[in-house]
Amino acid sequence: MNNNSKDIRSLLERFYSGEATEAEERELRELLEQTTAEEFETDRLILRGLEQSVKVPDDFEERLSSAIDGWDAAERAAERRRWLLRPVMWRRVAGIAASVALLVGVGMTMSRGTHVDQAEMADASGNHVEAYAATEKALTIFARALNKGMDGVEFAEQVSDKAMSTAMGI
């Protein structure tokens, strides 16, 4: 009995450290079933519980492999999403979109500008007469008034010269 206890303790030590072989596990179970020592009651229950664990299904390996493949695919998809949502990526896209929009806008404005110029030209040709008439009127008023003013200056100068001559002649 004491030897059994000693053997049990030794085997238990190996079992709990994960070093026991299958044969040693079987021997340990047999010894625990044979002994009535209370100190091994807990160990006996543990081994009995392990013995009653669910059997591994035959296709377990196949199912596990397919589950791993699925997890791998999901992780890759998540990685792609993260890459697409990167700020740097969107900044680049926004920059390209802005450049394209700018080019399109410039192109449209240039083509529109031509049409606007044509429309303005058509309208201006009708307004040219008014513009010329207004210019003529403005410049005429300006010139006449200015010349009248200068004529006054000339007259004053003449009068002054005459007065000087008369004064000197005396």
Partner 1 sequence: MKRIYIIAMLIAMTAMSVSAQAVKFFEKYEDADDVTSVYVSKAILRMMPDISTGDMDFSGVSGKIECIRVLTADRAEIAGKLRTDADKVVKEGKYELLVKVSEGKEKTNIYMKSDKEGMNEYIILNGSPNDFNAILIEGTLTPADVQKMAKKK
Report the interface residues with partner 1, using CB under 8 A.
124, 128, 130-132, 134-150
Residue 113 or 149: the one with the smaller Cβ distance to partner 1 is 149
Residue 13 or 151: the one with the smaller Cβ distance to partner 1 is 151
Minimum CB separation of residue 160 from partner 1 in Å reads: 19
Q: What is the C-alpha separation between 18 and 31, in angstroms, rounded?
A: 18
| Reduced 3-state DSSP string for the chain | CHHHHHHHHHHHHHHHCCCCCHHHHHHHHHHHHHCCCHHHHHHHHHHHHHHCCCCCCCCHHHHHHHHHHHHHHHHHHHHHHHHHCCHHHHHHHHHHHHHHHHHHHHHHHHHHHHHHHHHHHHHHHHHHHHHHHHHHHHHHHHHHHHHHHHHHHHHHHHHHHHHHHHHHHC
Residue 89 or 116: the one with the smaller Cβ distance to partner 1 is 116
Q: What is the C-alpha separation between 68 and 48, in angstroms, rounded?
A: 32
Minimum CB separation of residue 93 from partner 1 in Å reads: 43
Residue 103 or 133: the one with the smaller Cβ distance to partner 1 is 133
Residue 79 or 120: the one with the smaller Cβ distance to partner 1 is 120
Minimum CB separation of residue 95 from partner 1 in Å reads: 37
Minimum CB separation of residue 136 from partner 1 in Å reads: 7
Minimum CB separation of residue 117 from partner 1 in Å reads: 11
